[in-house]
């Protein structure tokens, strides 16, 4: 499925039509010859936000797992780690 590509000047003249088209597939807006923005349906935008949140949550889980392994391998006490985290939060 190819996206429609239109320059911003032409898009201004037919915004209502482009919003309708964006409900079916993204519309790429160009400015000075380069891609500048994408017009998406609300449903697609929300889907992308959920996907981004899921990826961020998974990245956080992986980072925490690495941190736990590093702490365990370093033989630093969990209390010392907790104190260091608390101190870092206070400094923010």
| Sheet with 4-7, side-by-side order of all strands | 4-7, 27-31, 34-39
Asked if residues 42 and 17 have their Cβ atoms less than 8 Å apart, the reply is no
CATH class of 4-40: alpha beta
Tell me what the mean pLDDT of segment 44-48 comes to: 96
Domain-wise residue ranges, the chain: 4-40, 43-91
Which pLDDT band, with edges at 50, 70 and 90, does 1 fall under? low
Tens of pLDDT along 54-90? 999 999 899 888 888 888 888 888 888 888 888 888 8
According to DSSP, the residues that pair with 38 across neighbouring strands are: 28
Asked if residues 28 and 5 have their Cβ atoms less than 8 Å apart, the reply is yes
Asked if residues 23 and 4 have their Cβ atoms less than 8 Å apart, the reply is no
Instruction: Show the DSSP H helices in the chain as ranges.
Output: 8-13, 15-22, 42-74, 78-91
């Amino acid at each position: 499925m190819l996206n429609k590509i239109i320059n911003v000047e032409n898009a201004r003249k037919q915004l209502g039509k482009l919003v309708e088209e964006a409900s079916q597939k993204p519309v790429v807006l160009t400015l000075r010859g380069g891609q500048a923005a994408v017009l998406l349906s609300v449903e697609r935008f929300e889907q992308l936000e959920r996907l981004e949140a899921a990826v961020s949550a998974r990245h956080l889980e992986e980072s925490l797992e690495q941190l736990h392994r590093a702490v365990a391998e370093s033989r630093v006490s969990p209390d010392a780690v907790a104190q260091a985290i608390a101190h870092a939060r206070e400094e923010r």
